[in-house]
Chains A and B, each alone.
Chain A
Amino acid sequence: MGLVAQLCLNTLQIGAVYVLFSLGLTLVFGVMKVINFAHGQFFTLAALLIAAAMPAFTVQLALPVWLDYLVSFVLAMIAVSLLAAALYFIGFERYLRDLVGSFILSLGLLLLLEGIYLWLFTGAPRVVAKVLPGQISLAGAAMETQRLVICGLSLAFTMALYQFVQHSRLGKALRAVAEDREAAMLQGIRYRRTSFYGFMIGSGLAALSGGLLAPLTPITPALGSDYLTKAFIIIIIGGLGSIPGAILGGFLIAMIESVAGYYFDLSYATIAMFALVIAFLLVRREGMLGHAQR
Chain B
Amino acid sequence: MPSARVDTAELPHTATHRARVGPLLTTLGAASVLAFALLTPDEYDQHLVMWVGLNAVLAVSLRFVLLVGETNIATGAFYGIGAYVAALCTVNFGVPFPLALLAGGIVATLVSAAFGLITLRAKGPYFMLISFAFTEVMRLIYTRIDYIGGNSGIMGVFPPQSLDPLMPALTVLLCGGLVLALYLCERSDLGRVFRAIENNDAIVETIGINVMSVKLLCLILASFAVGVAGALHAHIYNVISPGDFSYLVPVFALAYVKIGGDSHVLGAVLGAGLLTLVAQALEGAGALEQILFGGAIVAAMLVLPDGLWGAGKRLLGLLWR
Contact = CB atoms under 8 A, between A and B. Distances in A.
Interface in B236-272: 247, 251, 254-255, 258-259
Contact of A100 (B71, B293, B298, B300): B71
B295 A232 contact: no
B212 interface: no
Contacts, number: 136
* Chain B interface residue bracket vs A: 35 or more
Interface stretch (B102-110, B138-146, B156-164, B203-211): B138-146
Nearest to A236: B129
A235 B125 CA distance: 11
A114 B71 CA distance: 24
Interface string A259-277: 0000000011011011001
Nearest to B259: A104
A267 B144 contact: yes
B149 to A, nearest CB: 16
Interface of B: 66, 71, 118-119, 121-126, 128-130, 132-134, 136-137, 140-141, 143-144, 247, 251, 254-255, 258-259, 286-298, 300-302, 305
Given A112-B294, A232-B133, A278 B71 contact: no
The A interface, classified by DSSP as helix, strand, loop or mixed, is helix
B216 to A, nearest CB: 15
Nearest to B299: A108
Contact of B302 (A94, A116, A268, A273): A94
A91 interface: yes
A53 interface: no
Contacts of A232: 129, 132-133
A108 B66 contact: no
Given A108-B298, A240-B125, A281-B119, A103 B133 contact: no
Given A113-B294, A115-B289, A119-B291, 12 more contacts: A33-B125, A35-B128, A99-B128, A104-B301, A115-B293, A118-B286, A236-B126, A278-B119, A281-B118, A281-B121, A293-B124, A293-B125
A104 B137 contact: no
Interface in A240-294: 240, 267-268, 270-271, 273-274, 277-278, 281-282, 285-287, 293
